[in-house]
Amino acid sequence: MNLILFEPDEIAHPLARSDPRAGHLLRVLRRREGDTFDAGLVNGPRGKGTLTAIGPDALTLAFAWDAAPPPLDPITLIIGLPRPQTARDILRDATSLGVAAMHFVATDKGEPGYGRSTLWAGDGWRRHLISGAGQAFATRLPEVTHGRSLLEIIGGLPDRAIRVALDHYEASEALTRCRLPDDTAGAPRPELVLAFGPERGWSNAERAALRGAGFVLAHLGSRVLRTETAVVAAVALVKARLGLM
C-alpha cells in the first residue's frame, strides 16, 4: 500500500485493529502515535493521515486533504469475461495504469461459469480496484461493469471514440501503427476503446460486429500473450503514444 485509501464514510470513525490497513500502519510502516502517513479518499483528494491514538481495539486517525486529483485517462477496456484470477489481476493492474472504465463482457467463446464466480457475486471485485489505486498512489477508481453482452457495450460507446480490438488471428496492423487521437490545438481527446477477446478469441460473428461498429483489428506482435499481459502491454503502449505516461 503506497497510499492507504479510505471511503468517505470511514474517516470520521476509528479504524479497527482487525482492519488490514491498521496492520499495515503498525507492522509494515511501523507508525506510532503522532506519526503521519500518505492517505487518500476514494475518488477524492490525497493528503496526510496522522495516527493520533493507538487503542486496544482501534486506531484513531486525523486527516488533512490536498487538492482533488486529475481525471482518469480517457481509455476504456472491453474484455471478454476471463477466469476469476485473471479478472482480479486486470482489475488491479488496469486501475494502477489509470484507465477510465472496464467492461467485462459475455462472449461467444467465453466460459459461462466465469460470470458466476464469487468475484462478481457482490462488490468484492472493488477491493482489487482499491489495491491497484493505492499501488499507483492514486485515488480515482474506474467504472466497472460485468456480465453485459459485447453488442450492448459497443452500442453504447461515444460516437467520437477511437476503437481498436486486439485480435491475434485477423488483425490488419500492429497496435503501434493504429491511428490514435491527439491533443492538437488543445482539443479534448476523444475516448480510446481497447477490446480484448476471451481466452479462446473472438468468434467470426463478434469480429463482424466489431468491424461494423468501427473497430480496427490490431495485434501486439507475433507472440501469443495471456489476457492480463496483453491488457497491460496494450494500455502501456497507447499511453506512451498519447503522452500519458
Ordered by where they begin, the domains of the chain are 4-65 (2.40.240.20), 73-241 (3.40.1280.10)
pTM of structure: 0.93
* 20-49 mean pLDDT: 97
- Find all residues with CB under 8 Å of 55, minimum gap 6, and list them: 14, 17
The answer, yes or no, to whether residue 187 has pLDDT greater than 60, is: no
Q: What is the pLDDT of residue 188?
A: 66
Q: What is the pLDDT of residue 242?
A: 86
Contacts of 141-145 with CB under 8 Å at 24 or more apart are: 141/42, 141/43, 141/95, 142/72, 142/94, 142/95, 142/99, 142/100, 142/101, 142/102, 143/100, 143/101, 143/102, 144/91, 144/101, 144/102, 144/103, 144/104, 145/101, 145/102, 145/103, 145/104
Which tens digits make up the pLDDT trace of 106-120?
A: 999 999 999 999 999
Which tens digits make up the pLDDT trace of 45-64?
A: 999 999 999 999 999 999 99
Q: How many helices (H) and strands (E) does the chain have?
A: 6, 12
Which tens digits make up the pLDDT trace of 217-244?
A: 999 998 989 999 999 999 999 999 888 8
